[in-house]
């Protein structure tokens, strides 16, 4: 398939740019060791991520008024803490929610983004909050031309308003924009609106529980192993 020519690249963040699972598990195991709190931290992290889509779905369906992902993460943690037998004080609760602001990127992300920025506009397009995304970008020293997310439009992906709003803010027609993600459903939602798409394989995102998104599904424009490979392909577009 011919390589599409695009002006702006929009990046999913959790899983695509940042290794949320390893980061959270490492931080929570360290917390348990220093505080003497026993918990199945791996299972807690997996359950916390498992609450991600259902919590946003309640907002998208109008069951909950708009609230950003930090607020949804906090509410999900409250429910899970009870299930896992954790008694969290206000400071511990806030610290745990803040761990989502301190994730580590995959190794290819910094060099890949640096190369891609030489020829394209770069923006996040995540369901995370603005504050969360700014914190991640600063911590990993990643340079974007702008930070856009669900909070910018008060619509969570895959609502069309998020994708179309992001393209419009950068002065792009959808065909001039490309979504870069490790999740086929996100990519197909953008593709139905005219976006070009690039799948980045993150086969260990969900650890031993990963059961999908090992490869790009039919209809995705480009499939790559990492962002440096994507940079090489788009350099010749």
* Per-residue pLDDT tens digits for 11-68: 999 999 999 999 999 999 999 999 999 999 999 999 999 999 999 999 999 999 999 9
Residue 3 lies in a domain: no
Q: Which domain holds residue 216?
A: 8-19+103-234
Do 164 and 186 have their domain in common? yes
Q: Which of 71, 101, 131 is the last residue of a domain?
A: 101
Indicate if 190 and 215 belong to the same structural domain: yes
What does pTM read for this prediction? 0.96
Both 207 and 116 in one domain: the answer is yes
3-state secondary structure the chain: CCCCCCCEEEECCECCCECHHHHHHHHHHHHHHHHCCCCCHHHHHHHHHHCHHHHHHHHHCCCCCCCCHHHHHHHHHHHHHHHCCCCCCHHHHHHHHHHHHCCCECCCHHHHHHHHCCCCEEEEEECCCHHHHHHHHHHHCCCCCEEEEHHHHCCCCCCHHHHHHHHHHCCCCHHHEEEEECCHHHHHHHHCCCCEEEEECCCCCCHHHCCCCCCCCCCCCEEECCHHHHHHHHCCC
The reply to whether 13 and 64 lie within a common domain is: no
- In this structure, the answer to whether residues 80 and 126 fall within a common structural domain is no
Residue 145 resides in a domain = yes
Specify if 123 maps to a domain. yes
From 101, 130, 165, the end of a domain falls on 101
pLDDT tens, 118-128? 999 999 999 99
Last residue of a domain, one of 101, 116, 151: 101
């Amino acid at each position: 398939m011919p390589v599409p020519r695009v002006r702006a690249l929009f990046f999913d963040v959790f899983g695509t740019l940042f290794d949320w699972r390893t980061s959270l598990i490492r931080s929570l195991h360290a917390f348990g060791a220093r505080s003497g709190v026993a918990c199945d931290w791996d299972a807690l992290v997996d359950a916390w991520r498992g609450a991600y889509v259902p919590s946003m779905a309640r907002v998208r369906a109008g069951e909950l008024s708009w609230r950003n992902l930090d607020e949804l993460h906090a509410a999900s943690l409250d429910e899970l803490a009870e299930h896992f037998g954790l008694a969290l004080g206000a400071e511990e609760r806030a610290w745990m929610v803040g761990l989502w602001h301190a994730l580590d990127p995959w190794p290819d992300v910094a060099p890949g983004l640096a190369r891609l920025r030489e020829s394209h506009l770069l923006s996040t397009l995540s369901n995370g909050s603005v504050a969360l995304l700014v914190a991640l970008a600063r911590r990993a020293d990643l340079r974007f031309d702008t930070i856009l997310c669900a909070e910018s439009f008060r619509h969570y992906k895959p609502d069309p308003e998020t994708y179309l709003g992001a393209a419009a803010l950068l002065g792009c027609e959808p065909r001039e924009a490309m979504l870069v993600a490790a999740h086929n459903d996100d990519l197909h939602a953008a593709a139905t609106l005219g976006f070009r798409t690039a799948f980045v394989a993150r086969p260990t995102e969900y650890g031993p529980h990963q059961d999908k998104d090992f490869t790009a599904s039919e209809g995705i424009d480009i499939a790559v192993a990492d962002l440096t490979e994507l940079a090489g392909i788009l350099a010749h577009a």
